[in-house]
Structures are given as C-alpha cells and as structure tokens.
Structure 1
Amino acid sequence: MGNSINGGEFETVIQGHTVNLVNSRRHPTPSGLPARSLFVGRSELLAEITAASGTCLLAGLGGIGKTALAVEAAYRLREQFPGGTLFVDLHGYDNARLTPEQALDTLLPALTDLPAPPGLGAKQQLYRSLLATREPALIVADNAATPDQVTPLLPNDPRHRLLITSRHLLTDRTLTPRHFPVDVLPESVALLTELAGPSDRHPALAELCGHLPLALRIAGALLTERSPEELVDDLTNTQERLTELDYGPDLAVRATFDLSHRQLTDPEARLFALLGRNPGPDIGLPAAAALADLPERETTRLLRTLTRAHLVTTEHKRYQLHDLVRLYAAELPCEEGGLDRLIDHYRELRTTGAEHPNLLAVAEAALATGRHLDAAYLAHTVVQEGLLHRRLNPAAEQLFNAVSEALGIPTDTAAPTFIPYKEALAAARTPEEQRAANELGLEVLRMEYGRSQDYSDGYRRVVLFHIALVLGWLERFDESRATLEECLTLSLEFDDAFHQGQVLLLLERPEEALAAFERADATAEAAELRAHLYGP
C-alpha cells in the first residue's frame, strides 16, 4: 500500500502510514484595534478598567468618549493579552447595525483561515472553540445597543476579556458585566490645549461644550478656523450652539444625539422633549409628573428608562439633563401646556427648600409668557422664605422687581425698596443695626400690604404674615400677635390650611397647628411638629 501525506507543505515528517495534517503554520496574532487617538485624562478610571477582569461595560451619553477610552485601555492591556486583541464596531445606534451573526463573521477571520459555517449557533461554537485554544485575548465590542448584540461574543474561558461600550446599561440573564459609568471630562481644558494650544478662553469654551469630549474635539477643529474669542461668542448663543458644534458627519453633536433619540418609544420621547422645556436646573419626580401630566408611577418608569439610556442623570432623587442634551431636547417638537402645568405645580408647592432655583427659573418663564401674577407669587415665595430665615436672595429680589415693573407698579413704591432693606438686614452686625434694618423692613412691608389689595388674597396673607414676623423681631409683641390674629382670620376665610398652621405655630397653639398641617397634606411639617409634641 502506498504512503500519502496531505494537508499542506511540511518540513521533516516521520511517516508511519497515511498522515492527515492541518497547516502547521500558526494563524497570526490578531491586532485589530483602531488607530490610537489623542487621549487626555481619566487616569483613575483607566486604572480601574485595566485592573478589572471578566466582562466590562463602559456606558455613557453619546459623545462622552467611550470608544476612545476603550481603545486606550486596550492598547495599555496588550501585553497582558498575548493571544491578541479583536475589535468589532456593532453600529448599534445607526442604520448599519450588526446582527450577532454578522459580528461573528467580522471576528472569525482574525482567528482562523477556516470558512465560517452557516448559522449563528455554529459560528458561536467555532468562535469559542478557537478562543479556548489560544492564549488570553481581549475582545472589544464597540457601540452595542442591546444585550443580544454582545451575548454571543462572550468567551467561555475566563482567561479572555470582553470590553463593551454602549449608550445603555446592558444586562440580561447571561450578560452581567461590571459597569463603568463614563461621565464628562474633568480635564477638558487640558484636551483643548492639546488640540489647539493654550488660551485663556479655554475654560469658557469647555463650559460651553459641557465638558463633552465630542464637543471639545469639534471645538478644537473649529479653532483652526476661528479665534477662541470668536468661537466663545458663537457658542454663547444657545439657539445656535448645536448648529455651531458641527464639523462634518463624524463630528456633530446634534447628529450624535439623534442616534440616541431614535431609540426611544413614543412615551419616552414625549417626556424627554417636555424635560427640555423645564426652565429649572433640575426636576423632582412630582414636578416631572406635573410637567408630563402623568401619574408619578408611570413618570418614574419613563425617567428610569431615560436614565438607563444616559439621556437623563439622577442624584438624590433629582433629575438633570446635560446642558447640550437640554438644548437638543428643547428643539424637539413638543405639545403645548407643559410649562403651564409646571407653573401650577410650583404655585401649589408648600415646602420649597431646595426648590428655590427652580421656583425662580419657572417664575422667569412665567414672566416671559405673560403670567405676571404667577411670576410675582413664585418670586415672592422665595423672598418671603428669605425674610423668615433672614437670608438675602438677590436673584429673587431682582426678579420680583422685574415682575413689579411688568405689572406697572410705580418705581417709587415698595418694590425697589426691598433690596436696600434686605441688604441692610444682611449687613447688620449689631443689635442696633438689626433693629434699624427691621424698622425699614416694617415700613416696606406695610407699603407693600397697602398695594396688595390689587393682587391675590394669597399674596396679601403672605405680606401680612411677614409684618407680624418683623414686629416680633422688633419685640413689639402685642402688635405682632394682633397682626397674626388678622392673618388667621384671612387664612380661615380663604381655607388656606397650610398658612393657618404657620400662624397657629407663632400664636403658640401647636395642637391646632398640627391639625392644620395634616389637613394641608404638609407631611414634613406635620411629622416634625408631631415629634416635638409627642416624641419620636
């Protein structure tokens, strides 16, 4: 019987009978990373990523620099993965989105010369079998939109690592990555300096770009055509900022946000557009529910979905939009009525506390849309709480004066006098100075009460309440008590239970005050008073 050798070209072979061999020449070690780009900052996050093991997910807003971070981490990890580095762009957010089978078709040629078998299951089996015979390898799956895009790429050998980037938090029964949130770039000025050289306008530019790496890189490109001063002027116009932050199809902020927006369902897109109309710096759940005219439970579900998509951020139960995302959301088509619902919500709010910046922002929006009395009420709510705690709020004073001017109040009446009164109160350092400031305040408030007959009953009660407060500070206790009794009469007449509770507390009738707070659903005030009366 004749001998035969088949399967390729070989050097010395010991022949025993018929020998069948595959090609002994080793498949080259894959190195499929994109070119390394300029990278600045994020040293702590990079250290955490490179020290991690298993499957890792870099998640964040579009344009936040996830791909650049993943590529930089992969370059720094090359020596730890002698089996090579594989890279696939899954295009999860654009029209060229890869299916899992297409993703494997992209990766398999880097591992073998064998033709890929038909079918997802067969391709996945070959992929994992090839990885099982290799030294440790790193796989980078960029721009994944859903877990099903990356689950078939999971290696079944813990020596290998999968590094994923996505605009969403991704997890399912099989995919349980360690999440690394990617936020705005703290070293944004340093990046601008590397891109365009030093300038004292870079801090202002970085702020206008929202410290978003994509916007910063666009700004760096635009600085080859314009001076930093010109670019700052161009970006200061909020109506044109997203249009200016465009340097072609691959460097455009609006186009990048479009890719995220098109993933939203209709209810999610509706709430997102409404959030772009919120004038305040952030929003709580009750205000968001009022803005959307939805139950809080449903609003919570939608906000969580937007948060998982990194279009909204949340901290301490407050929700925010990145500055550029807010501008984008404000451009979207949106129903009428959201701002009116928000104004009504803040008018009914009993305990404002941390809401002062939102009250002032909404008051400014109310003034701009002609709801002058609502603007006056909201601005004065902040003013009166400043009076109550003896704190000066110049922004509230300025806005209140603007409302007064819009309402046609003469400039020689009380409104402009509020500012010198508050300044005097804030500057007072001695009992004599405090008394002089409060004497001025009493005069101002009485003038204001005299003209308050032309405004809402709620406004009259507020002014009268503060006259009683100032009289107490001046130790004119009989007059203060008589004024409080007048306040109580007005509160009872107009069924304002919350105001009744405030007045009854100062009249030293705490049990009645507690009942009033409970009728007003003022839960925080009622709980505090109940604990004071009856113990925790």
Structure 2
Amino acid sequence: MAEFENSGDHRGSNAFQGASVTNDGQIIGTQNNYYASAPAPPEVSAADLKAAGDLLASLPEDAVPKPAPLPAGSAVTFRPNPHFVGRQQDLKALARALKRGGTSAIGPTAAATGLGGLGKTQLAAEFAHRYGRFFAGGVYWLSCAKAAGIRGEVTRCAQAMGLPVDDQDSIGRVLARWQSPLPTLLIFDNCEEEDLLAEWRPPSGAARVLVTSRRATWSSGLGVEALPLGTLTPAEGAALLHGFRPDLPADDPGLAAISEELGHLPLALHLAGSYLRRYRHVPEGTPAAYLAALRAAPGLDHDFLAGGEWSPTGHDLNVARTFTLSLDRLDADDLADRTAWVLLFLIHAFAPGEPIPRWLIHRAAASLETPIDPKAAEDGLRRLLELGLIEEEDPDEGTLRMHRLVARFLAAHADTARRVVEKAVLEAAREQNATGLPGPLLAWQPHLRFVAETAADQGTEGAWVL
C-alpha cells in the first residue's frame, strides 16, 4: 500500500469572514459567506429520502467492502491504489463514525490524524472507493492544503455535478446540494486549520465530513471525532514491500527487517519498495544491501528515502521534506511554538518509538539551563501533537511517543538535547533506586538503556554511571 500524504501551506486565510474557534473550543462569528448566501437545498421526495436512508443503513460496519463505482456526479481526485494493504480496522472505524445519525441529524465529522507519511490521504481515497456507493448524495473531494484554492475545488465539484460554472452562483449551488437531507460524503484532505473546517463544513443537512490532518487535537466545539492513524503492522509493512518485489519470497526476512528499521511508516516503505524494484537487477537492490546502506547512512537525506515511483496521491516522495512541512509550521515569534521546538529535540533524545512517561519529559524540560515550567511545557507538547510530530501513546497514562524516523531526522541537531536528557534520566534513576523499590523504573527502562548506550557511543564523560 503506497499510502502516504504530504501537503503545502496550511495556514488559514482571511479571504472569508467566516466562523472562528476560540481556545476553549467555542465557535464564534458567522458561517462562510457562501453558505449564508447559498440558495435553499433542493427538494427531496419522501421516497428518495427513504431510499437514501436505507442505502446508508446498509453500509457495513464490521466488514470492508470491495471497491465499487461511485454515485453519479461524484468528484474524487484519486483512483484506487493497487498497492493498498491493511488498514482494515481503520476503515471500519471510519465507517462506524460516518454512518451515525442516518438522515435525521446533521452529519458527523471524523478526522484521520497523525504524522506526515502515515497514509491519511490514501486511507481517505480507499474509503471513498469502498464505501462511497452508500452515500446517495455523492462523494466530493476537496484539497484544503491551501485555503485560497478551496473555491477552485468547489468549482471542480460543480463541474462533476453537471452544474453551470460560468457565473457567480456556481459555488452557492454546490453548497446548497451539500446541505441536502441526502447523505453525502465530503472529504477535506490536508485540513490543518480549525477555522477552515468551520468555514466550509455544511451547517445543516446530512453530509458527512471525513478530514485528513496532522492535527491530533480539535476544539470540542467543532464536534470532530479524531481517529489517530498508526503505522502499519510488521506483517503489513513486509507485505507492502513484497508488492514491489513479488520475485522475492513473501516471508523474506530482509523485507521484515527493512519494515522494522523504517518503523513501518507507509511513505518510507513505498520509497524503499520503489528502490528495491528499481535496482532489482544489481547487488544494491537486494534487501540485505538496502538494509546495510540504510543503517550506515545518518539522517534521512539520501536517495533510498526520496524519489521513488509515481505517487498515487500526487505527493512529494521524500521523507525528510514531509517532516520539514510540519517543522515549518512552528512560528519563531510564538512562545508555545518556541517551547515546542525545544521539547521536540528533548523528546528525540529518548529511545525512538518507545512510550515516554510525560513526567520524564517534564523532568528533562526542568533540567534545561533555562527551565521550562510545567504549564508552558504542556502548551508546547500540545503544539507538537497538533502537528503530528509526536503521538499520544496512552491518554490515561499521559505517555507520548516519537516515531523513529522523526528522531533520526532530528539527530543531526540534537547534541544539547541529548546531554539534558542524560542528566534527567540519571537523576530519575538514582532517585528511584534510592527508594529501594526499582519496580516503577521498569516502565521506562528502555530509555535508561538507550541513553546509556548512546552516551557510551558518543564517548560522553561519565557514561559508565548510566
């Protein structure tokens, strides 16, 4: 499954005097000017409404249907991806979230969220082609990567509907259809700004909205059900690679090892598979040679994690640039963003891919030359979660996790952060051992081991103490 996503500038636009969202999750202001001036939704007969409701009710929640033709007039940007594997549980979760309400209530909004490169756009495309037939009002795809381009996206939908597009009322006609009581599926791809969702989501009718976003947290007033997207399972990662190299045994251990090294991230696996296929006739194209080169090369800026074959979602096939897009959204003039930047490098210095207790991150932040107080640290962590640069492993326990490739990407700039984390981990370990009850230390022992081994590799003075 070549499933991944990337995007351009996500900053909101002031082009519309639309709704806005306050820090406590309340929506203020008016809806988008276009909705306010749109004509009334078209009349729907009782018979058509019942048929549409019955069709939606038949949408399966516990089984994933095969791809099928979309309703007439639909506008979906991407075709089904022949490399798509796995994601069965994610598709079912979206189906359950978007089926709710029938035709009697305002349609729900669900967001597939997570790190760049996880395949959110590809998942949305797959959902459209597998479940779109159950939405009688049609399926419509809008790229929200650039706020200024959404009008053009709506005009494209008008063309698919067969509506006139040569006058100023064309957008209003589309929005009127989207406020119909007929269940419609709208996909807001790469929607990072809450204001943008509030502006363009229908204020009434039975339309469902599927959002893809790196943003993990949404204001409660928007009523968004966030569905965090994880990496592939080890078996799915190996299967994705095997799709590029069917000449190899399906259980080739080299494919499983590559997937493990890349943290089972779909974008990275697509690039690895493309590389293995491109060089399959030379020694460099064997799984063992690729794995050795991957482990020997620092960072992510090299040819076996960039380029690749044609992208089924039209995105930039480069892992480093995908992560850079998130980093570029951190504003140096914003205090929370500056704090997030510091915390990002601290978190990187823990064991990649392992759950990190929140208190241990606070401990490291307090150990800085200029300490970060707990409230400011929480603001910074929330910002990193919004950008998908870290994920919440367990909301109840408060543990967080950074993907191993994000940590690798940051490695070239993290000497200071590494030393701070070494100090915080050493102090915490000493305190825990002094209690005579080392049991709680087992929960974060991977970080103690990782920090100790890294300190030894780097020749840090006193590394033997760790």
> Shorter-chain TM-score category?
0.5 to 0.7
Task: Identify the residue that residue 255 of structure 1 maps to in structure 2.
Answer: 321
Q: Is 1:110 paired with 2:160?
A: yes
C-alpha spacing 1:45/1:343, structure 2 compared with 1 (3 Å): closer
Task: Identify the residue that residue 418 of structure 2 maps to in structure 1.
Answer: 339
Once residues 79 and 229 of structure 2 are traced to their aligned partners in structure 1, the CA distance between those partners, rounded to angstroms, is: 21
1:368-407 superposed matches below 5 A: 368-372=457-461, 374-378=462-466
Q: Could you say which structure has the greater relative contact order, defined with CA pairs below 8 angstroms and 6 or more residues apart?
A: 2
Deviation readout 1:497-526 (Å, 9 max, x if unpaired) = xxxxxxxxxxxxxxxxxxxxxxxxxxxxxx
C-alpha spacing 1:74/1:371, structure 2 compared with 1 (3 Å): closer
Once residues 97 and 362 of structure 2 are traced to their aligned partners in structure 1, the CA distance between those partners, rounded to angstroms, is: 39
Q: Which amino acid aligns with 2:452?
A: A
Q: Is 1:287 paired with 2:337?
A: no
1:37-56 superposed matches below 5 A: 37=81, 38-53=83-98, 54-56=108-110
| SS at structure 2 position matched to 1:319 | strand
Deviation readout 1:179-200 (Å, 9 max, x if unpaired) = 2111001111122222322333
Q: Is 1:245 paired with 2:305?
A: yes
1:441-456 superposed matches below 5 A: none
Q: Which amino acid aligns with 1:220?
A: G
Task: Identify the residue that residue 186 of structure 2 maps to in structure 1.
Answer: 139
Once residues 291 and 127 of structure 1 are traced to their aligned partners in structure 2, the CA distance between those partners, rounded to angstroms, is: 55
| SS at structure 1 position matched to 2:210 | strand
C-alpha spacing 1:159/1:134, structure 2 compared with 1 (3 Å): closer
Whether the aligned pair in 2 keeps the contact of 1:86 and 1:139 (CA below 8 Å) is: yes
Q: Is 1:359 paired with 2:448?
A: yes
Shift of 1:114: 3.2
Q: Is 1:327 paired with 2:403?
A: no
Task: Identify the residue that residue 34 of structure 1 maps to in structure 2.
Answer: 78
Task: Identify the residue that residue 269 of structure 2 maps to in structure 1.
Answer: 216
Whether the aligned pair in 1 keeps the contact of 2:179 and 2:205 (CA below 8 Å) is: no
Whether the aligned pair in 1 keeps the contact of 2:155 and 2:171 (CA below 8 Å) is: no
Structure in which a larger fraction of residues adopt helix: 1
Once residues 57 and 260 of structure 1 are traced to their aligned partners in structure 2, the CA distance between those partners, rounded to angstroms, is: 18
> What root-mean-square deviation, in Å, do the aligned CA atoms of Structure 1 and Structure 2 show?
2.9
C-alpha spacing 1:228/1:368, structure 2 compared with 1 (3 Å): closer
Out of 237, 240, 255, which is 1:188 matched to?
237
Shift of 1:112: 5.2
Q: Which amino acid aligns with 1:35?
A: R
C-alpha spacing 1:264/1:205, structure 2 compared with 1 (3 Å): same
| SS at structure 2 position matched to 1:163 | strand
C-alpha spacing 1:188/1:338, structure 2 compared with 1 (3 Å): closer
Task: Identify the residue that residue 273 of structure 1 maps to in structure 2.
Answer: 345
Normalising by the residue count of structure 2, what TM-score does the alignment of the two structures yield?
Answer: 0.66
Which has the larger displacement, 170-179 or 305-314? 170-179
Task: Identify the residue that residue 41 of structure 2 maps to in structure 1.
Answer: none
C-alpha spacing 1:322/1:291, structure 2 compared with 1 (3 Å): farther
Task: Identify the residue that residue 37 of structure 2 maps to in structure 1.
Answer: none
Larger Rg: 1
C-alpha spacing 1:279/1:217, structure 2 compared with 1 (3 Å): closer
C-alpha spacing 1:311/1:29, structure 2 compared with 1 (3 Å): same
Whether the aligned pair in 2 keeps the contact of 1:100 and 1:152 (CA below 8 Å) is: no
Q: Give 5+ residue unaligned stretches, structure 2.
A: 1-70, 99-107, 280-284, 309-314, 333-337, 434-440
C-alpha spacing 1:127/1:67, structure 2 compared with 1 (3 Å): same
| SS at structure 2 position matched to 1:77 | helix
Normalising by the residue count of structure 1, what TM-score does the alignment of the two structures yield?
Answer: 0.58
Q: Which amino acid aligns with 1:75?
A: H
Deviation readout 1:269-298 (Å, 9 max, x if unpaired) = 232134323467554233331465322222
Deviation readout 1:455-496 (Å, 9 max, x if unpaired) = xxxxxxxxxxxxxxxxxxxxxxxxxxxxxxxxxxxxxxxxxx
Out of 177, 183, 189, which is 1:130 matched to?
177
Task: Give the length in aligned residue pairs.
Answer: 342
C-alpha spacing 1:318/1:161, structure 2 compared with 1 (3 Å): closer
Once residues 160 and 303 of structure 1 are traced to their aligned partners in structure 2, the CA distance between those partners, rounded to angstroms, is: 33
Shift of 1:330: 1.7
Out of 64, 79, 82, which is 2:133 matched to?
79
Once residues 341 and 133 of structure 1 are traced to their aligned partners in structure 2, the CA distance between those partners, rounded to angstroms, is: 57
Shift of 1:73: 0.8
Shift of 1:41: 0.8
Q: Give 5+ residue unaligned stretches, structure 1.
A: 1-26, 379-536
Report sequence identity in percent: 26
Shift of 1:258: 1.0
| SS at structure 2 position matched to 1:83 | coil
Shift of 1:313: 2.2
Task: Identify the residue that residue 399 of structure 2 maps to in structure 1.
Answer: 318
